[in-house]
Structures are given as structure tokens and as C-alpha cells.
């Protein structure tokens, strides 16, 4: 009887074990979408088109209804949610900061470290009048990037994915960098894209 009870417990435990794998392809797609949105600069005076709350709710409702009646062709593909108030707030801050960072990227003063965070490559080459501004922008951007990775992991109910999301974004920041921007390789050397 003890053997039967032990076997029952083992079988029951085996039935409730669920492996949840990090959706790497979905994370790359999400990273590309966010980065492209952040790095899209609009001409001066042209407002970014944003949906108001009721429009956003309406479109989400229509999407949910359509998904009920029409099976998705990507049902087997893992999905990663990148839509939460915190994620929208962080990406909006990063997008508003990007025009200020772009000139420093273009001048080669800042680069993308192998961690995916920004760094001042050569502080001595930054004009004295710009040094405080560059340091403030880099620090604010890095804080938002770190918080963005946590927010995405939390929005998907997997805070343990933060490191993997950060790693995915690190590669995608480089892939989405403009020609001429600097990035750090895994061995610590700097290359220009």
C-alpha cells in the first residue's frame, strides 16, 4: 500500500509540473518594435498620433471579439505583452529623450555597451559645455532601460525573465543602431556600425 501511495504522489506531481520557456523570438520582435518606436523622430511641431483611452479600449474589444470567432494563424507562436501603463510611460520618456541622445550617438560621444546600456565612450572628447547634459541623458536612459526590462517581465507575469529580456534588448539595440554609431563587442572592444 505504501508503494501505491508513493507512486500516486509521484504521478500527481508529474502531472502538475509545467515548464514555461522564455519566448526568445517573441522577445526579439517586441524589442525591435519598442526600439523602432523610440528611435522614430518626428519633424518639429508634428504631434505623435496617439489613441485616447476609449479608442484603445474599443480596438482591444474588437480584437478580442474577432479572435473569438477567427482562430489565429499564430496560435502556436509565443507572445510577449508589451502593453502596460508602465511600459507605455517608460517608452514615451525614452522617445522624448532620443532626439537629445541622437546627436551624441552621431558624434560618437556615446555608445551601446555590451550590456545594452549606454556609456560615454570618451568623456574627454565631449565638449565641456555638453558633459553634464550627456551624463544626465545617459543616466536617465539607462535607468529607464533597466525599468523597462523589469516592466516587460512583470507585465508577462514572469519577473524571472528580466535578465533574458535585458540580454535580448542588448543585441537588438545594436541591430537597430544607425550606421556610424558605436557599440561594444562581447570582448570589450568598440566597433562602429
Name the band, by pLDDT with cuts 50, 70 and 90, for residue 1: low
- Which pLDDT value is given to residue 157? 94
Q: What is the pLDDT of residues 108-119, one digit of tens each?
A: 999 999 999 999
How far apart, in whole angstroms, are the C-alpha atoms of residue 140 and residue 106?
19
Q: Any idea which of 12-16, 45-49, 171-175 has the lowest mean pLDDT?
A: 45-49
β-sheet bridge partners, residue 184: 190
Q: Which residues contact 60 (CB under 8 A, 6 or more apart)?
A: none
To which residue does cell 518639429 refer? 44
Name the band, by pLDDT with cuts 50, 70 and 90, for residue 191: very high
Q: Which residues contact 174 (CB under 8 A, 6 or more apart)?
A: 112, 116, 183, 193
Q: What is the pLDDT of residues 105-164, one digit of tens each?
A: 999 999 999 999 999 998 999 999 999 999 999 999 999 999 999 999 999 999 999 999
Amino acid at each position: 500500500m505504501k508503494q501505491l501511495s508513493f507512486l500516486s504522489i509521484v504521478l500527481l506531481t508529474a502531472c502538475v509540473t509545467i515548464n514555461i520557456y522564455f519566448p526568445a523570438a517573441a522577445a526579439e520582435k517586441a524589442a525591435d518594435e519598442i526600439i523602432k518606436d523610440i528611435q522614430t523622430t518626428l519633424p518639429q511641431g508634428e504631434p505623435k498620433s496617439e489613441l485616447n483611452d476609449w479608442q484603445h479600449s474599443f480596438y482591444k474589444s474588437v480584437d478580442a471579439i474577432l479572435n473569438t470567432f477567427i482562430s489565429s494563424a499564430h496560435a502556436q507562436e509565443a507572445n510577449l505583452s508589451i502593453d502596460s501603463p508602465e511600459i507605455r510611460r517608460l517608452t514615451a520618456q525614452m522617445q522624448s529623450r532620443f532626439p537629445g541622445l541622437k546627436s551624441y550617438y552621431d558624434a560618437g560621444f556615446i555608445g551601446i555597451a555590451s550590456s545594452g546600456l549606454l556609456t560615454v565612450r570618451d568623456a574627454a572628447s565631449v565638449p565641456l559645455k555638453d558633459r553634464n547634459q550627456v551624463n544626465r541623458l545617459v543616466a536617465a536612459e539607462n535607468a529607464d532601460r533597466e525599468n523597462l526590462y523589469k516592466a516587460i517581465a512583470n507585465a508577462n507575469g514572469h519577473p524571472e525573465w528580466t535578465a533574458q529580456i535585458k540580454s535580448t534588448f542588448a543585441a537588438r539595440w545594436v541591430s537597430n543602431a544607425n550606421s556610424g554609431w558605436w557599440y561594444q563587442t562581447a570582448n570589450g572592444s568598440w566597433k562602429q556600425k
